[in-house]
Structure 1
């Protein structure tokens, strides 16, 4: 029991440290962007330009102003912390899938002559991941977590609709899809049951 508690505490500390460092990085990058006349905004994704594929990852760490980064910080911190509790390596893999899926979706479908950046695709991806993870892994506790997250952040789903030309619903939608897909990609292996197997 003590070992289990120690492991859980260590994971919580690690998850918290990772997410606080991530949020701090987002604010630092926005500060640099502001100080350099929005020079970092050039690393946003412009659709259907081959060279812009290299900007898919960096675009997820950049924002278009203090209000933008502030609006993403709290949900990213909360959802990221919960997701990271299951292990940092799995969390990193999930985030990578979400970033690539969201970025490719934007690159393929965003209107021409636009630049898309921000962590909201990751927020939607983590939301989708946590929403279905418990059902995919068949873990009752994670199902309960998913239900609570749906109750608290369910209004996020409106963000996948094209209701505001200044908001990338494409990034939100494909981020959500990437998160759900990641839950299946990285599902926990089930323990074999049946004759010949003994649980101790």
Structure 2
């Protein structure tokens, strides 16, 4: 089955995002409850020790406001990801964390970069560009919704506010775009009718075999139930009905 041909709800659509968000809150609760500060385990660019933050930084947050503003969009976007792109959802999340984190490690300022915002930018970027490339009405609608909700986030990929890791945001944005291009072949095209297929042969079309070249219905005795459905489509029948 091609990706996106059917969008079906499954328990994992909600369960996985909930588990991810709860894990982040559990780590934050542990810091507050036992007085630990785990920020030192974040990404510290261009240092060997700072590489551990590539994996750990999405689970670390500085304060309640930071974690609140990150976990809500993370839950919304990851839920949409698992619903619309289930076969590739885990790859987008796991590789999104690793690649965006590593890019942050490469280009970031000498400071600890923490938070799930890099992954959020991966999901925003991926969801938007994937929907545009797909040319599928549901995915395009999802892209427009993402822009409506989170479009203003684009400004935070620039150094406009002190204390915000714009490098992490920019890394996430680039990673999401790359993923949308990389997984482009897994985007299903909108469903085509039989006559739009490349190997379509009009002479073998079972529907057209019930009509002559002038569009008149051909009466047969083989499939009477089908004839009752097709007969109203006959040009002769339509004109007869209008005349009566």
Q: TM-score, normalised by structure 1?
A: 0.85
2:61 is matched with 63
The answer to whether structure 1 residue 121 and structure 2 residue 114 are counterparts is: no
Distance 1:189 1:145, change over 3 A: closer
Shift of 1:58: 1.1
Of 181, 184, 197, the residue aligned with 2:181 is 184
Distance 1:75 1:190, change over 3 A: closer
Of 199, 218, 226, the residue aligned with 1:195 is 199
Q: Report if aligned partners of 2:122, 2:172 keep a CA contact under 8 Å in 1.
A: yes
2:17 is matched with 19
**Separation in 2 of the partners of 1:189 and 1:79?**
18
Using CA pairs under 8 Å that are at least 6 residues apart, name the structure with larger relative contact order, 1 or 2: 1
Q: Name the stretch that deviates more: 131-140 or 151-160.
A: 131-140
**Separation in 2 of the partners of 1:86 and 1:151?**
18
Q: Report if aligned partners of 2:7, 2:84 keep a CA contact under 8 Å in 1.
A: no
Shift of 1:97: 2.7
**Separation in 2 of the partners of 1:190 and 1:16?**
23
Shift of 1:108: 1.3
Distance 1:33 1:88, change over 3 A: farther
**Separation in 2 of the partners of 1:189 and 1:174?**
24
Shift of 1:72: 0.4
**Separation in 2 of the partners of 1:7 and 1:140?**
13
**Separation in 1 of the partners of 2:188 and 2:21?**
34
> 1:55-74 deviations in whole A, cap 9, x for unaligned?
20111111112211111011
Q: Report if aligned partners of 1:132, 1:143 keep a CA contact under 8 Å in 2.
A: no
Of 147, 157, 160, the residue aligned with 1:160 is 157
**Separation in 2 of the partners of 1:196 and 1:58?**
53
**Separation in 2 of the partners of 1:172 and 1:78?**
18
Based on CA coordinates, which of the two structures has the bigger radius of gyration? 2
Q: Which runs of 4+ in 1 moved over 4 A?
A: none
Q: Report if aligned partners of 1:127, 1:149 keep a CA contact under 8 Å in 2.
A: yes
SS at 2:35 equivalent: coil
Q: Report if aligned partners of 2:46, 2:106 keep a CA contact under 8 Å in 1.
A: yes
The answer to whether structure 1 residue 174 and structure 2 residue 171 are counterparts is: yes
**Separation in 1 of the partners of 2:84 and 2:39?**
33
**Separation in 2 of the partners of 1:14 and 1:85?**
9
